[in-house]
Amino acid sequence: MKVEILYFASLRDRVGTGQETLELDPALDLNGLWDLLVWRHPALGEVVPRPMAACDREYASWDHGLAGVREVAFLPPVSGG
């Protein structure tokens, strides 16, 4: 299945693009997808803690399955004051 992956802010800088489309196994969850993305873009492995993730514009936990998902967005951790 094709999934649009969106990267925001510093994640976009690490990957070098704001989006990419990947053909993914629908059995993957967000953890598996992140592992795949770190393999493709090693600089993502330096992001600690892991970024927030959203599937089809709704925040999702890391064990969220990807079956039927069309868009995954990753948002870096933010701090405020």
Token pair recorded at residue 38: 């770190």
| Segment (H or E) for 36 | helix 30-40
Q: Taking the model in full, what pTM does it have?
A: 0.92
Q: How confident is the model at residue 79 (pLDDT cuts 50, 70, 90)?
A: low
For 26, other C-beta atoms within 10 Å of its C-beta total: 11
Domains and their CATH numbers in the chain: 2-75 (3.10.20.30)
Query: Tens of pLDDT along 34-61?
Result: 999 999 999 999 988 889 999 999 999 9
Query: Tens of pLDDT along 13-30?
Result: 999 999 999 999 999 999
Distance (Å, rounded) from C-alpha 14 to C-alpha 18?
Answer: 10
For 44, other C-beta atoms within 10 Å of its C-beta total: 19
β-sheet bridge partners, residue 20: 5
Strands (E), 8-70: 19-23, 52-55, 58-60
Closest by CA position to 30, among listed 69, 78, 76: 69
